[in-house]
Amino acid sequence: MKKIFLYISSLIVVSLFTSCLSIPSSAVSSGPRTLILNGVTVSATDTDNGFTAWYCVDYVYGGSVLVEVGYFYKNGSQYGFVLYDGGYIGELAYFSRDGLNYRWDWGENEKYSFVIKPDGTGLYYDFSTSKDGTAKPRDVYKAYKR
């Protein structure tokens, strides 16, 4: 019985510690923020003015960062990006303003979109199975500017 209690206690302690760990938001532990986009390392110092980004959590439950979107300028050209799972690895995206909304399109033939509305609602769209080019949001997030 003591072994079972010790085993369960150890399991609880380990799970508590691992739940407190977060995925780093930069490829380097110190210095300027660094992202890996389409396999290419981009540091905030490589950009004209650093990164502008929004981190997004589940709309209802909150919790950990599920996706992060943002943009930066490099040599006067604008680039968007999408990061997955609160980390620093993701993809380059086409960033634009669509009226009052912010919008990112990426993937083959820009089949994926992420839109942030003025109230901070983030909407993820997947057009990969759409025959007529329309889709309803597949996921809804709450977006916060970093």
Residue 125 in any domain: the answer is yes
48 located within any domain: yes
Residue 20 has what pLDDT? 38
pLDDT of residue 8: 39
Residue-range definition of the domain harbouring residue 37 = 25-145
- Confidence at 21, pLDDT banded by 50, 70, 90: very low
Region 89-100 average pLDDT? 97
Is residue 93 in some structural domain? yes
Confidence of residue 29 (pLDDT cuts 50, 70, 90): low
Q: Is pLDDT larger for residue 86 or for residue 10? A: 86
**Does residue 63 belong to any structural domain of this protein?**
yes
Q: What are the distances in angstroms from CA 100 to CA 35, 97, 109, 123, 142?
A: 27, 7, 24, 14, 17
pTM: 0.79
Which pLDDT belongs to residue 4? 41
Is there a domain that residue 19 lies in?
no
- Using CA atoms, how far residue 37 sits from 11, 13, 70, 98, 102, in Å, is 36, 35, 12, 23, 20
Say if 68 falls within a structural domain. yes
**pLDDT tens per residue, range 100-124:** 999 999 999 999 999 999 999 999 9
User: pLDDT tens across 62-74, in order?
Assistant: 999 999 999 999 9
Residue 113 lies in a domain: yes
In a domain, 110, yes or no: yes
> Into how many domains does the chain fold?
1
